[in-house]
Structure 1
Amino acid sequence: MKKPELLVTPTKVEDISRLIKAGATAFIIGEETFGLRLAGEFKKDDIREAVTVAHQSAAKVYVAMNALFHNDKLPLLPDYISFLAEIGVDAIVFGDPAVLMVAREVAPQMKLHWNTETTATNYFTANYWGKKGAKRAVMAREINMDAIVETKENAEVEIEVQVHGMTCMFQSKRTLLGNYMEFQGKDLKVEGRSKDRTLILHDPERDAKYPIFEDENGTHIMSPNDICIIDELEDMLEAGVDAFKIDGILKSVDYLEKVTALFNEAVELFLRDPDAYQDKKYYYLQEIEKIQPANRKLDTGFFFKETVY
């Protein structure tokens, strides 16, 4: 069995060295203009520096271009993709076919990871995008473990799965919060990525709190709980899933560093001694529970169909 890539979303360039020491082997970064729901805002100079820092430790850098692009943004794509190719970015994460088509023209050697958040639900679709040029498919968060394993067994591309962090429940291109506040006669400006996002939808009946924020790409409502399957990695490791993603949106680097180190230790222990992992896996879960924010419970997402949002 091979060790999967441990893919983490840093908040700033300075996080990268710490996360590499904790066990991260790849990073997803980007900027709001092109990417959705990133942990931090990385402008061109930040991306260049991130690539330099990561490559010094043989880690990879992927840049998110997974927004849905309207006509007005299409002219921005060629220069941006050319820049990413020039500085040695390892892959572009895309959902909109416009990115693929432009990349073919201006950077045909650039690796592409297909990520539409919700529609990567079967291996036929993954292989379809593989034939179009994608090297990896990022699986939807809403499918269960059996479907992930079956997809990996039949996929002709790499498979990436989120194993930790919050997920997006809803996105609208419209600024729903701003529109509502304007209707109420109040002023709510879209906050940049460098500022805290403290708005929460509270469902008292379920005692659930949903982080909600606006950015250049519209309105995002996030899950009330964080996925964590550090104690349920066996099937995916045996199947050979290529990348495990730890999503750090709205989390501190201290939290991310600890979670990354625990996942790295758990994976290495299973690959070395599966029985030892079985004996220790609940310890890993308990360690993450110790640092988990009080208002963010852990669950297994849709891996075993236990979660209903």
Structure 2
Amino acid sequence: MKKPELLVTPQSVAHIEQLIEAGADAFLVGEQQFGLRLAGEFTIDDIEKSVILAHAANKKVYVAMNALYHNNRVDLLRPYMEKLESCGVDGITYGDPAVVMVKREADLQVPLHWNTEMTATNWFTANYWGKRGANRAVLARELSMDEVIEIKENAEVAIELQVHGMTCMFQSKRSLLGNYFLYQDKAMEIENRTSQKNMFLHDKERANKYPIFEDANGTHIFSPNDMCIIDELGELIDAGIDSFKIDGVLQEAPYVTKVTNLYRQAIDAYMESSEVYDEMKNDLLAEVEEIQPEIRPLDTGFFFKETVY
């Protein structure tokens, strides 16, 4: 039985040090000019420091380039990707085929992880991008447990799956909130990765609050609940899922570090034996619930069709 990678989104280089201690195996970093919905802003210098730090601990660093690029940004891709390869990053997460074309034209060797957020819903598409240079597919969040397992059984590429954190349910490439307030002649500072004081879209009928932030890629609205399947990992490990992702966007760093350690314990326990895991999983879930922000209830996302929004 293969042990899955535990992939986490850190907020800073210093946070990576804490996450290594907590048991993370890999880190997804980047900057908003090229990547979407990042937990922290990492310059090229930060990425280089992250790679040195992670590789010294036998960990991996992947860089998010999963934005969709207009013509004015295409010329920036090659020099950025060349710098990433010179830094020794272990992979690039992409959604736009322009990244594939740049890799070919520049004859780069850095591995590619296909991630389009919502359209990775079957193994045919995953294998299509595998034949065009990707060695991993990041599955959509809107999949059931059975669908995930079926994709893994037929995929010719590694499979990455989010197991904890917020789910993006809407994105516009426009600054919707900023434009709205400007229209009303009101100044408003959009709270994003520099502050954990989130803005919310309030649905009074369902008593839900949907977190919002804006960055260089537009407006992002997230689910009202946090996904958490720390007590449902057994089937996914048995199925051979290659990477479990904890998304720390809009969370405090200590929370992400603690959650990472709890998932580390869960994975290691199951690898020891399913009986050990079964004895621990309820306690591990209770520890997550104890630190969970009051306005962010936990659910199992779409794995068992609980999430409705």
In structure 2, what is the Cα distance between the partners aligned to 1:191 and 1:295? 17
In structure 1, what is the Cα distance between the partners aligned to 2:182 and 2:200? 18
CA RMSD of aligned residues (A): 1.1
Within 5 A, what are the aligned runs for 1:129-208?
129-189=129-189, 193-208=193-208
The offset of 1:188, in angstroms, is 2.9
The offset of 1:234, in angstroms, is 1.1
Alpha carbons 1:213, 1:220 under 8 Å: kept? yes
Pair 1:148–1:196, CA change in 2 (3 A): same
Corresponding residue for 1:298? Answer: 298
Name the SS of the counterpart of 1:79 in structure 2. helix
Q: What percent of counterpart residues are identical?
A: 61
Alpha carbons 2:191, 2:199 under 8 Å: kept? no
The offset of 1:56, in angstroms, is 0.5
Cα shift readout 1:166-211 (whole Å, capped 9, x = no counterpart): 0101000011111111121112355663244521111122221111
In structure 1, what is the Cα distance between the partners aligned to 2:197 and 2:99? 29
Q: TM-score under structure 1 normalisation?
A: 0.98
Corresponding residue for 1:272? Answer: 272
Q: What amino acid maps onto 2:188 in structure 1?
A: L
The offset of 1:104, in angstroms, is 1.6
The offset of 1:159, in angstroms, is 0.1
In structure 1, what is the Cα distance between the partners aligned to 2:24 and 2:49? 17
The offset of 1:271, in angstroms, is 1.2
Corresponding residue for 1:125? Answer: 125
In structure 1, what is the Cα distance between the partners aligned to 2:55 and 2:253? 20
Name the SS of the counterpart of 1:135 in structure 2. strand
In structure 2, what is the Cα distance between the partners aligned to 1:192 and 1:136? 29
- Report runs of 4+ in structure 1 exceeding 4 Å deviation: 189-192
Alpha carbons 1:191, 1:215 under 8 Å: kept? no
In structure 2, what is the Cα distance between the partners aligned to 1:191 and 1:50? 26
Within 5 A, what are the aligned runs for 1:30-41?
30-41=30-41
In structure 2, what is the Cα distance between the partners aligned to 1:158 and 1:198? 34
Corresponding residue for 1:78? Answer: 78
Alpha carbons 2:54, 2:61 under 8 Å: kept? yes
Alpha carbons 1:201, 1:212 under 8 Å: kept? yes
Q: What amino acid maps onto 2:123 in structure 1?
A: Y
